[in-house]
Amino acid sequence: MLLVENSPATILIAALAAASQGVYPPDLTDWSLWNSRMPNDGDQAIAIYDTGSKPDGRSHRSGRTVEHPSLQIRIRSADYPVAFQKALSLCSFLDSLSNLSVEILDEAGESTGNFALIQSATRYGGIISLGNEEDGKRQILTINTRLTLAEALHSPSSQTPFNFFDWPFAGYFTWTG
């Protein structure tokens, strides 16, 4: 059981948009972010796909099974060096993720009022080239990653903790709220 109600792709898209790694909602400009599909139009696009999860035991406090969702990030560009540079930028972003609270957006890019906490991202493998699309005009590169997520029940500015006792480091802090 995941600790979140939103798809991991939706959560990662919100994080990428907040960090200006892409544009959401997608508008066919450079580096539009797409959830589980790649459009035919627009040369430079990023699509995020949910690809399953890895079970990782159970929480001692809640008894819930901990799962780490897997995602594939596809980067498309007509120019291979441009696609590769974007992939490197995305790798750097993923490698730097640590306890990032993100506001979940709907398909129109509006706030849903929900938040999620990305505790970390772990890439497995490097940047992979899938070659050209079928029409031969654009290159596709991929990055595979796994996330550690927690549902953030309140905005980051709230004085109330998020699922505090489900966090793996909860024992190191004392909440006096």
On whether residue 31 sits in a domain, the answer given is yes
Does pLDDT of 166 surpass 80? no
- Whether 2 is in a domain gets the answer no
Q: Is residue 48 part of a domain?
A: yes
Contact (CB, 8 A) for 86 and 74: no
Is residue 123 assigned to a domain?
Answer: yes
Residue 155: predicted pLDDT: 52
pTM of the complete model beyond 0.95? no
Tens digits of residue pLDDT in 45-73? 999 999 998 888 887 887 877 789 999 99
Residue 177 in any domain: the answer is no
Position 26 in a domain? yes
| pLDDT tier, 97 (very low <50, low <70, confident <90, very high otherwise) | very high
Give the Cα separation of 177 and 169 in Å (integer).
Answer: 18
Does residue 1 sit within a domain?
no
pLDDT at 84: 98
**Full domain range(s) for residue 71:** 8-172
> How many whole angstroms separate alpha carbon 161 and alpha carbon 138?
45
pLDDT at 136: 83
Least confident piece of the model among 26-35, 131-140, 144-153: 144-153
CA distances in angstroms from 38 to 55, 111, 140, 164, listed in the order given = 28, 23, 11, 37
Residue 71 lies in a domain: yes
Q: How many domains is the chain built from? A: 1
CATH of the domain at 91: 3.30.2000.10
